[in-house]
């Protein structure tokens, strides 16, 4: 199967041939023909499967085969700024020879600059829900001519608290439109969301029950928490990683780790929500260009970042949600390429590791590097001590168990030392044991009555 057989416009197929896109991915093969038919869709797919092209290509096809108009015709809603810029870049790449204008709207950028682009006229808009509402309130954009709406990573949009914004936007959309919803999974929130924005949708489930990570090499190193910084520096240096994305659990740990790696002499940048967007964009571009060796990021980078042929990611911390582990390692090995994922695990993170193993339905081997072995990894179980068996159905108390042990000890001593007596007996009974010289103790002398009377007389 080729893109030519999917029914796409010849102009788009020529562009895809130039980009080296020969065969559509499974999601592209299923989604593109249905979108061209005008159907509403609810689709699930993992990241890195070619999902963006699955909806951008039929959107461009629709615009090519419609009367020319400067009005907004296609809207793509995404959860983050990073994903907005990435998708808008894909729109420009695939539509390079079409002449259609596109624009990305997201927070952290100047409203005035974005408003000017909107005034010049755009046919395709990629936006985060909150920033789009701001422009709508200011009258900078109109949704009247909208024909196709796409919710990309809808589960993340809802998880980030955009429910109210999305409901407001849906009420503003034209009733006559086509809507596509893409999500990693079809949970209750997504199904409820689909009820308010989709009309008799077809469901395409391409996310396997067990995520396919066979093309990604996964290694786990056990270590103590205090060793993590040094172990990470050692791995990057000894393995000579030229480009590595490191994930941490919190913004604070990303800052601390980034500072440590810089002090170690590694060119490092930090990437999380508290870093201004302009600085994040600069850091990401430098990382892609190879000017920065290490990018330390929170889970904001686990979705939406498309770094071509990223060789290695390292989980400095395991994520709170096991599914985020899949998104993290999905930054490498994209579009069928091979990749490497390394995870540092402390004894305190064993339960999180079990959650990941349950999700992917496999057990991972824990390796230990010499000099970085986790001292507290194996906790010995207390040895069971023998005691008198308790009555059936009753558990002996601690006091009863102690009394049983004391009695057993006393009986043992009485058998080996019959002359021994307890301390209480020694305090109450006089010493009547005969000395070595005499067998019997001499009787005490009676007091002399004369001496008594003499003492009385003297007094």
User: Which stretch of 18-27, 275-284, 347-356, 384-393 has the lowest confidence by average pLDDT?
Assistant: 384-393
The residue with tokens 């990573």 is 153
> Rounded to whole angstroms, how far apart are CA atoms 52 and 55?
6
**DSSP track, 245-309:** EEE-SSHHHHHHHHHHHHHTT--EEEESTTS-HHHHHHHHHHHHTTS-SEEEE-GGGSSS---TT
Residue 276: the pLDDT is 85
Rounded Cα gap, residues 366 and 347, in angstroms:
11
Count CA atoms closer than 13 A to 76's CA, side-chain side.
32
CATH no. for 216-367: 3.40.50.300
Residue 5 sits at φ, ψ, to 5 deg, of -80, -10
pLDDT tens digits, one per residue of 131-188: 999 999 999 999 999 999 999 989 888 877 788 899 999 999 999 999 999 988 777 8
Class of residue 135 by CB neighbours under 10 A (exposed 0-12, middle 13-18, buried 19+) = middle
Between 131-145, 185-199, 251-265, 432-446, the lowest mean confidence (pLDDT) is in 432-446
pLDDT of residue 404: 52
Which CATH number, 1.10.357.10, 3.30.70.100, 3.40.50.720, 3.40.50.300, labels domain 3-205?
3.40.50.300
Cite the residue boundaries of each domain of the chain with CATH code 3.40.50.300.
Answer: 3-205, 216-367
pLDDT for 444 equals 52
- Percent of the residues in the chain that have a pLDDT greater than 70, as a whole number: 80
> Tokens at residue 399, please?
């006091």
């Amino acid at each position: 199967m080729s893109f030519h057989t999917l029914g796409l416009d010849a102009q788009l197929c020529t562009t895809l041939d130039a980009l080296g896109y020969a065969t559509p991915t499974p999601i592209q093969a299923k989604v593109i023909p249905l979108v061209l038919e005008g159907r509403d869709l609810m689709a699930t797919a993992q990241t890195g499967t070619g999902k963006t092209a699955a909806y951008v290509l039929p959107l461009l096809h629709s615009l090519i085969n419609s009367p020319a108009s400067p009005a907004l015709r296609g809207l793509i809603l995404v959860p983050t700024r990073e994903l907005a810029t990435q998708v808008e870049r894909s729109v420009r790449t695939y539509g390079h020879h079409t002449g259609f204008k596109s624009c990305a709207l997201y927070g952290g950028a100047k409203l005035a600059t974005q408003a000017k682009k909107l005034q010049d006229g755009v046919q395709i808009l990629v936006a985060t829900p909150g920033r789009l509402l701001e422009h709508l309130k200011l009258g900078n954009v109109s949704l009247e001519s909208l024909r196709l709406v796409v919710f990309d990573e809808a589960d993340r949009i809802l998880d980030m608290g955009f429910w109210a914004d999305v409901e407001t936007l849906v009420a503003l959309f034209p009733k006559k439109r086509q809507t596509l919803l893409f999500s990693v999974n079809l949970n209750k929130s997504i199904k409820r969301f689909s009820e308010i924005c989709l009309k008799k949708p077809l469901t395409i489930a391409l996310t396997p029950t067990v995520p396919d990570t066979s093309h990604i090499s996964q290694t786990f190193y056990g270590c103590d928490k205090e060793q993590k910084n040094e172990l990470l520096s050692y791995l990057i240096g000894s393995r000579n990683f030229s480009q590595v994305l490191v994930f941490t659990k919190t913004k604070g740990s990303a800052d601390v780790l980034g500072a440590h790696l810089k002090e170690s002499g590694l060119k490092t940048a930090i990437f999380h929500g508290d870093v201004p967007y302009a600085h994040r964009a600069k850091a990401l571009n430098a990382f892609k260009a190879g000017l920065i060796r290490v990018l330390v990021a929170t889970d904001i980078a686990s979705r939406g970042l498309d770094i071509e042929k990223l060789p290695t990611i390292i989980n400095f911390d395991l994520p709170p949600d096991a599914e985020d582990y899949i998104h993290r390692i999905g930054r490498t090995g994209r579009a069928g390429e091979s990749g490497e994922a390394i995870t540092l695990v402390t004894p305190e993170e064993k339960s999180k590791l079990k959650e990941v193993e349950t999700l992917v339905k496999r057990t991972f081997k824990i390796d230990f590097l010499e000099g970085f072995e986790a001292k507290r990894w194996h906790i010995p179980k207390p040895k069971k001590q023998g005691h008198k068996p308790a009555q059936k159905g009753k558990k002996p108390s601690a006091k009863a168990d102690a009394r049983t042990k004391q009695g057993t000890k006393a009986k043992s001593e009485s058998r080996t030392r019959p002359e021994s007596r307890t301390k209480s007996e020694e305090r109450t009974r006089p010493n009547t044991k005969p000395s070595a010289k005499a067998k019997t103790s001499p009787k005490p002398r009676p007091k002399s009555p004369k001496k008594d009377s003499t003492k009385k007389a003297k007094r």
